Amino acid sequence: MKTTSRYQAHQPDAQGMIPYSAEEDAVWKILFSPQQARAKRYCSRVFTEGLAQLALSPQRIPQCVEVSQRLQQATGWSVTPVPALIGFDRFYQLLSARIFPAASFIRSRDELEYLQEPDIFHEIFGHTPLLAHPQIAEFSHHIGVLGTQARPQDHVWLARLYWFTVEFGLIRENGGLKALGAGLASSASELPYAIESPQAQRQPFDLMDVLRTPYRIDIHQPLYFVLEGIDQLRDLISTDILGTIHHAQALGLHPPRYAPKATLN
Alpha carbon distance 211, 219 (integer Å): 19
The kind and range of the H/E element at 99 are strand 99-103
Backbone phi, then psi, for 259, in 5-degree steps? -70, 145
Q: Is 247 marked as a binding-site residue?
A: no
Alpha carbon distance 115, 117 (integer Å): 6
Q: Is 122 marked as a binding-site residue?
A: yes
Active site residue 122: yes
How far does CA 168 lie from the centroid of its chain?
7
Catalytically annotated residue among 127, 133, 141, 220 = 127
Alpha carbon distance 28, 24 (integer Å): 6
Q: Are 224 and 200 in contact (CB under 8 A)?
A: yes
Active site residue 142: no
Catalytically annotated residue among 24, 68, 122, 123 = 122
Q: Is 138 marked as a binding-site residue?
A: no
Active site residue 254: no
Catalytically annotated residue among 24, 167, 173, 190 = 167
Active site residue 196: no
Binding-site annotation, residues for Fe cation: 122, 127, 167
Catalytic sites, residue numbers: 122, 127, 167, 186
Please report, in range form, the residues annotated as the binding site: 122, 127, 167
